[in-house]
Amino acid sequence: MPFVRVALDVPVDEAFDYRADDASADDVGRLVVVPFGRGRKVGVVVEVTTQSAIEARRIRAVARIARDLPRLPEATLDLFRFCARYYHHPLGETVLNALPTALRRPDGAALATRSEYVRTAEGEQRTVADLPVRAHAQRALFGAFATEPVLTPTRLRAGGPAARRALGALMARGWVMEREAVAAQAESVPPAVTAAAGPEPTPEQRAAVDAVTATLGSFQCHLLHGVTGSGKTEVYLRLIEAVARRGEQTLLLVPEINLTPQLEARLADRLGSERLAILHSGLAEGERLERWLRAVRGDALVVAGTRLAVFTPLPRLGLIIVDEEHDGSYKQQEGLRYSARDVAVFLGKQRGAAVILGSATPSLESWQQARNQRYRLLQLPSRAASNPPAIRTVETRGVTLAEGLAPPLVEAIGQTLARAEQSLVFVNRRGFAPTLLCHECGWIAPCHRCSARLTLHSAGRRLRCHYCGHDESIPRSCPSCGNQDLRALGAGTQRIEQALAALFPKARIARIDRDSTRRKRAFHELRERIEAHDLDILVGTQMLAKGHDFPRLTLVGVLGADNGLLAADFRAEERLFALLLQVAGRAGRAALPGHVLIQTEFPQHPLFQALIAQDFAGFAQVQLDQRQAGAFPPFLHQALLRAEATQEAQVFEVLEEARRQGHPLAEGITLYDPVPALMPKVAGKWRGQLLIQSPSRNALHAFLDNWWPRIGSKRVRMSIDVDPQDF
């Protein structure tokens, strides 16, 4: 009697046995719906066997094997097994959380039905104008057929109940019909690609393209270090075209959702939109599933997305690109705490695909790999169509600031306005001010659920916590001493926007941060206004720091740069340098020269001197020397045992017990004492951590394999973070 071993989305590192009379080896990797407890769950078959350690009469039967869906190939299952082992996370949670949300529900597989909807012969003769004026949903749906001749059930479900009712009405009119979809086979080779011509590459771009092209068909990791504006994207596009002509697929990872529309437009222009599948968390559930299926079935030649896209099974993978490879958003901070960049390198090695890690400011880990010649270093040292911006510091020590703006920056903004050019004032703090202060007693508005201060927001006159989302009204007087003179401390994007409006009343100013872009398409609309030169001054956070190309933006002013120098993290200077060089790179990307002014109290600091010289290699060398002398990554390997609970004492009792159990096992391992997290309390939960490190990666994982299963607590939530990025 055949049994299937099923990985389920539960916090237990084992597979569950179920009876499946018609199961075969072909079902490994397929989704199944199984009874679990009093309900049902979706799982993935990881093994088919004729034996089980459980009594046969106690084994329950599979409810359904989803043979109408593509199965996860063995290579993808091996990738999940590697991630589960390396990051010490249950296999079932690793697999299921990498799938589209629609497939993780017991009824979700129905969304992937093989039916589709097309116009009938009569519908082909009709137009939207033939429908009643008030039939809004019918007109919208029928109009969609003009650009999408075939609509899938997932596309229709994204439109909600109104779209489904409109479909019924159009079918009743005889204008639309349902038919069985013909799925593309993963093994089939797509037709030849005829790419639209791009700009003539520079000699440096051509050399980079040629170097990578020579390695296609085998694994080689390339670190593409290109200064901002050097045309890394053009290198990507030419390589994607070369891979597509081989009938192979490219996986392109980007750090942020906001970068995907611009990238999608360039890819569509060169390859055609029908060959793309863009994946990110901002998509509707059905739309994400449909695109994922196109990628898995081999229909999409380019799959672009944020970090979760690295787990998309691609049958003909030929190239992997990780853009802005240094970006911290590639590291998942909950559940499976994976690094999409590192997983991408493993995936390339596993599949024999070329890998490109691209950045103007590579991570020190990747830079060290290039120095050791494990990665091949490719350089784009100059801009493709302009000169680099001139960077200088503005000393603020002892200077009277106008709401955080130094006189030289105010003057430079005025001159930029007079030239009808655009300015960006960068301040990486949203809200009106970082907090509210009582000058009488020193009270600072706290969050009662977090070890954080509440941020003052001018909209609605509210205090908000940017960690847990707590929101409250501004008190009339100090809760500590009763003083009514409460003042905003520091400056956020709202306050700077207000100050600039007062200084330049005729200027068209826009604030671009997470608060101003919450509405769908809000960021896209702001981009269009910038490109149309409908805005003069932008006030933005790191949302604008990378990947954006605005030809008339010639001035960048940076506020609050010193905050990054004071962070209690050995990566603080690396991150600050990367952020400042990236935001400086927004200036002068076309024919107009660019200027960058950085306000600081420490203008002679080596970091700012390296920025002025735009010398990443020199900065990286100093940082790596310091890391090696201090025994920090990348010269040793780390893991963090993280713990959180509602009671602080419980957290440290469990961590101390874990440290005690680990000491006898810690050969070649350093176990540090438990300490509070940098943010000790978030959303009512106390957080602590225990650092484990070793000069040997193998020794570290051997210790974790032995130690992690021995520790645990029902009262305290615990997790292992391998290669942690935040403490």
In DSSP terms, 18 is beta-bridged to 4
Q: Phi and psi at residue 88, in whole multiples of 5°? A: 55, 60
Same topology, domains 203-281+295-380 and 390-433+490-625? Answer is yes
- Superfamily, domain 637-722: Ribosomal protein S10 (3.30.70.600)
Q: Which helix (H) or strand (E) holds 221?
A: strand 220-226
Q: What does the pLDDT read at residue 622? A: 96
Q: What is the pLDDT of residue 88?
A: 96
- Matching CATH number, 390-433+490-625, of 1.10.1040.10, 3.30.2000.20, 3.40.50.300, 3.80.30.20: 3.40.50.300
- Contact (Cβ atoms closer than 8 angstroms) between residue 336 and residue 83: yes
- With residues binned 3-state (H G I as helix, E B as strand, rest as coil), the percentages for the chain, rounded to 5, are 35, 25, 40
What SS3 class is residue 553?
A: strand
pLDDT for residue 260: 62
State which CATH number among 3.40.1440.60, 3.40.47.10, 3.40.190.10, 1.10.3720.10 fits the domain covering 3-111.
3.40.1440.60
236 phi-psi bin (left φ>0, alpha ψ -120 to 50, beta other): alpha
User: What is the per-residue pLDDT for 182?
Assistant: 47
Contacts of 427 (CB under 8 A, 6+ apart): 404, 491, 492, 493, 496, 539, 540, 541, 558, 559, 560
The rounded average pLDDT for each run of 10 residues, N- to C-terminus, in the chain (727 residues) is 91 91 91 91 93 86 88 95 96 94 76 69 89 90 82 68 86 83 46 64 95 96 94 93 94 82 77 82 82 90 94 96 95 95 98 97 97 96 86 93 92 95 91 86 92 86 90 91 88 90 94 80 82 91 76 92 84 94 89 93 94 95 95 95 95 95 92 94 94 96 94 90 92
In this predicted structure, what is the pLDDT of residue 338? 97
The whole-model pTM stands at: 0.86
Note whether 105 and 64 are within 8 A (CB): no
Write down the pLDDT at residue 528: 83
| Residue 250, beta-bridge partner list | 302, 319
Q: What are the pLDDT digits (tens) for 511-533?
A: 988 878 777 777 778 888 888 89
| 203-281+295-380: CATH superfamily | P-loop containing nucleotide triphosphate hydrolases (3.40.50.300)
Query: The tokens of 285 are what?
Result: 């559930």
Q: Where are the domains of the chain?
A: 3-111, 115-180, 203-281+295-380, 390-433+490-625, 637-722
Instruction: Please report where in the chains the tokens 């340098």 appear, as a residue.
Output: 577
48's tokens: 């088919």
**Torsion angle, alpha carbons of 224, 226, 230, 234, to 10:** 20
Q: Comparing C-alpha atoms, which of 531, 613, 561, 557 is closest to residue 415?
A: 557
Helices (H), 334-454: 340-351, 364-371, 407-418
Comparing C-alpha atoms, which of 638, 643, 706, 702 is closest to residue 672? 638
DSSP 651-718: HHHHHHHHHHHHGGG-TT-EEPPPEEEEEEEETTEEEEEEEEEES-HHHHHHHHHHHGGG---SSSEE
| Residues forming a β-bridge with 582 | none
Strands 390-395 vs 16-19: parallel, antiparallel or unpaired: unpaired
Handedness of CA 640, 641, 642, 648 (dihedral sign): negative
